[in-house]
């Protein structure tokens, strides 16, 4: 859908979370149009999403400026815009490592969204509290979000089920409950497949295979990861994490020679991944297992 013709109810359709720079460009078009045409709710909400795209790129100063503009554009009766503003202020705080990680903003967003009967934004707020709170409280927020998402007649709320199941699955995995994690990742996979998000479903399939490796079911894990590798190759795509897991499965099976090129490719693809910037040991392990140290003079 073209950003030039987007309506307020369709704003979320402009998102491509895999490409925040392109998403920023789209929201900027809406912001510029709203400045000229009507301002108000359209301008305020578009600015919150522009800020989110900027924050996903690590440009927190720009994101805060966009949110300040959104606050000035808000009208007193615009409860939905107020919730979006709180959500994005909270996300910037969380991503930038601010004190409290945005908790107060997310709690207020939850309360306002529930009062406005906006289940989609309420689930979003609860899901963020499931990220920023300590484990026990996070689990309660995730469960609250899941119950609302699965019971709501709002399709926006329902679309959260896959993401919530994914988050809850990793919490189970980290707690050592891989059977429970696989059950949740399977739910995420099925939800994402049902609404056509095959790229997200591949993430859930990867996660299931990762749990199988943790359980020692190495052949099944390798078969699943090889299937993902072949599928991505047929699409002309590459994923460093899939290469990494293929390498790990092969290594665990005692097939180090076969694992080496997978680790080398994983390092090539992941070396500049921002999410691994603080996990230098993992990257250096990939580099070593990929044979880089053997080829240097």
Query: Looking at the predicted structure, is the pLDDT value of residue 5 above 50?
Result: no
Find where tokens 């980290």 sit.
174
Query: Looking at the predicted structure, is the pLDDT value of residue 294 above 70?
Result: no
State the CATH class of domain 1-73.
mainly alpha
Q: Could you report the per-residue pLDDT of 122-153, keeping only the tens digit for each? A: 999 999 999 999 999 999 999 999 999 999 99
pLDDT at position 3, please?
56
Q: Could you report the per-residue pLDDT of 221-240, keeping only the tens digit for each? A: 999 999 999 999 999 999 99
Contacts of 159 (CB under 8 A, 6+ apart): 120, 195
Query: Looking at the predicted structure, is the pLDDT value of residue 39 above 90?
Result: no
CB burial of residue 291 (10 Å; 0-12, 13-18, 19+)? middle
Q: How many residues appear in the chain?
A: 297
pLDDT (average), residues 278-289? 95
Query: Looking at the predicted structure, is the pLDDT value of residue 214 above 90?
Result: yes
Q: Could you report the per-residue pLDDT of 55-89, keeping only the tens digit for each? A: 999 999 999 999 999 999 999 889 999 999 999 99
pLDDT (average), residues 93-102? 94
- Separation of alpha carbons 205 and 203, rounded Å: 5
Contacts of 2 (CB under 8 A, 6+ apart): none
Query: Looking at the predicted structure, is the pLDDT value of residue 2 above 60?
Result: no
Query: Looking at the predicted structure, is the pLDDT value of residue 297 above 50?
Result: no
């Amino acid at each position: 859908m073209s950003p030039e013709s987007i309506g307020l109810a369709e704003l979320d359709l402009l998102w491509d979370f895999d490409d925040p720079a392109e998403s920023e460009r789209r929201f900027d078009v809406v912001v510029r149009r709203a400045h000229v045409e009507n301002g108000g709710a359209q301008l305020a909400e578009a600015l919150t999403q522009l800020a989110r795209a900027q924050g996903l790129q690590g440009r927190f100063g720009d994101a805060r400026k966009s949110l300040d503009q959104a606050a000035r554009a808000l009208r007193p009766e615009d409860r939905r815009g107020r919730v979006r503003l709180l959500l994005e202020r909270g996300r910037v705080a969380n991503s930038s490592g601010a004190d409290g990680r945005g908790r107060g903003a997310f709690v207020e967003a939850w309360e306002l969204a529930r009062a406005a009967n906006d289940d989609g934004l309420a689930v979003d707020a609860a899901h963020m509290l499931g990220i920023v709170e300590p484990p026990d409280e996070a689990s309660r927020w995730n469960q609250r979000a899941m119950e609302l998402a699965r019971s709501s007649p709002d399709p926006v709320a329902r679309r959260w089920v896959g993401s919530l199941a994914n988050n809850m699955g990793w919490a189970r995995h980290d707690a050592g409950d891989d059977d429970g994690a696989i059950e949740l990742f399977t739910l995420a996979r099925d939800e994402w497949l049902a609404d056509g998000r095959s790229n997200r479903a591949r993430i859930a399939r990867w996660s299931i295979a990762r749990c199988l490796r943790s359980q020692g079911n190495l052949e099944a894990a390798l078969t699943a990861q090889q299937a993902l590798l072949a599928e991505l190759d047929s699409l002309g795509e590459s994923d460093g994490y899939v290469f990494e897991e293929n390498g790990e499965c092969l290594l665990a099976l005692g097939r180090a020679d076969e694992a080496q090129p997978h680790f080398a490719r994983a390092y090539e693809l992941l070396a500049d991944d921002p999410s691994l910037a603080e996990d230098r040991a993992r990257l250096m392990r990939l580099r070593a297992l990929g044979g880089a140290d053997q080829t240097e003079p």
